Structure 1
């Protein structure tokens, strides 16, 4: 029977928050008003860390920023972002962990609350075909409208989106011999609690405390 391996992205496979750093990149390159964007981005990031973030409010703030630019320009900006921010942040231990699951023939996916525009090239950089992420709405020309298509991929939403994705593949969750989920965040407790092998990866203090109480393994990928 096939095995399932799921990975959160930010602070799990990457030692950065890709969404927050995308915002910092926009500020640094002058693509947005620095003072206002910095204020809102920092505010949302603090809410995320505290577990109080309204995911729709945040996503439509972030997607509204993306909607200001034609898709061709956005894609060029993202290539620069990957070269300057993401690729230098990727750690060998994270790449090796993903590759072990791929080499074993496991079904591998990255599942993240960050939107697909930001994260699809990052998943590709890790060699992962399947990505479950917040879906930006697009117009008929492929430009982003600033709205969220569907529901957020956060908290319990990750569980729901995982089941929907596996349903589309024709491989229901209970058909796997085992399932791993690697995450750093207590926000991911709903999905960590349903897989057979939850792994607290570079865990926050809150997740570390919970994982220790549950006897879950702890994994550090960024201590090299």
Structure 2
């Protein structure tokens, strides 16, 4: 059987869901530090270079909302994906996901974003299976402590292998789509790799490896 795996940020959507979530929280008045978004931009610059320490980013991201109840956050994130993520889905991604769904292929989204965002985004995209960074719950609140293996860099491969052992189906051909050099391990692990709007480092690697480079664009509106 075939398994189609997708990264989320900058692959299926034209943006980073973590950064968009932070902007959403600013809009909601839940982040009031005027320097927060600038710090976020700097951390994501490190991510693009493959130099980000994920635990550092999780602690940064969760700090403003750790006092909030899990149920409140889960409702808030549904509003977030409907307001912000829905506008950024690549048309090519929508078409491919619809095609694979019609063909009854198994689709899995795996992301280094926290699970509560990934699950909401996957539901919006109509994808049943997803993996994100799981967080330890502390008194019905999301903590900044990662539970298990983080789905980041080589951890994505390990989380995929864990997921596969839990499935009744045996997948013999794995496909993976990503934009980021952070996903090199996964791209090399699967049978068929595709790069989507790859970052400069991944673009160079894709040319060396002979991986297809897909150029997905958002709709451009004319005045």
Give me the whole-angstrom Cα distance separating, in 1, the residues matched to 2:41 and 2:144.
20
Instruction: Deviation per CA, 1:98-123: give whole Å up to 9, x if none.
Output: 22222222221000000011121100
Matched with 1:96 is 95
Q: Within the alignment, does 1:201 sit opposite 2:196 as a pair?
A: yes
Matched with 1:216 is 211
Q: Number of aligned pairs?
A: 219
SS of structure 1 residue aligned to 2:64: helix
Task: List alignment gaps of at least 5 residues for structure 1.
Answer: none
Matched with 2:115 is 116
2:177 to 174, 182, 197: 182
- Contact 1:66-1:146 at 8 Å conserved across structures: no
Matched with 2:25 is 26
Structure 1 segments (4+ residues) deviating >4 Å:
none
Task: List alignment gaps of at least 5 residues for structure 2.
Answer: none
- Contact 1:56-1:152 at 8 Å conserved across structures: no
Matched with 1:47 is 46
**Cα RMSD (Å):** 1.7
TM-score under structure 1 normalisation?
0.90
Q: How far 1:170 moved relative to its partner?
A: 4.2
Give me the whole-angstrom Cα distance separating, in 1, the residues matched to 2:96 and 2:154.
25
Q: How far 1:188 moved relative to its partner?
A: 0.4
Give me the whole-angstrom Cα distance separating, in 2, the residues matched to 1:18 and 1:80.
13
Q: How far 1:223 moved relative to its partner?
A: 5.1
TM-score under structure 2 normalisation?
0.91
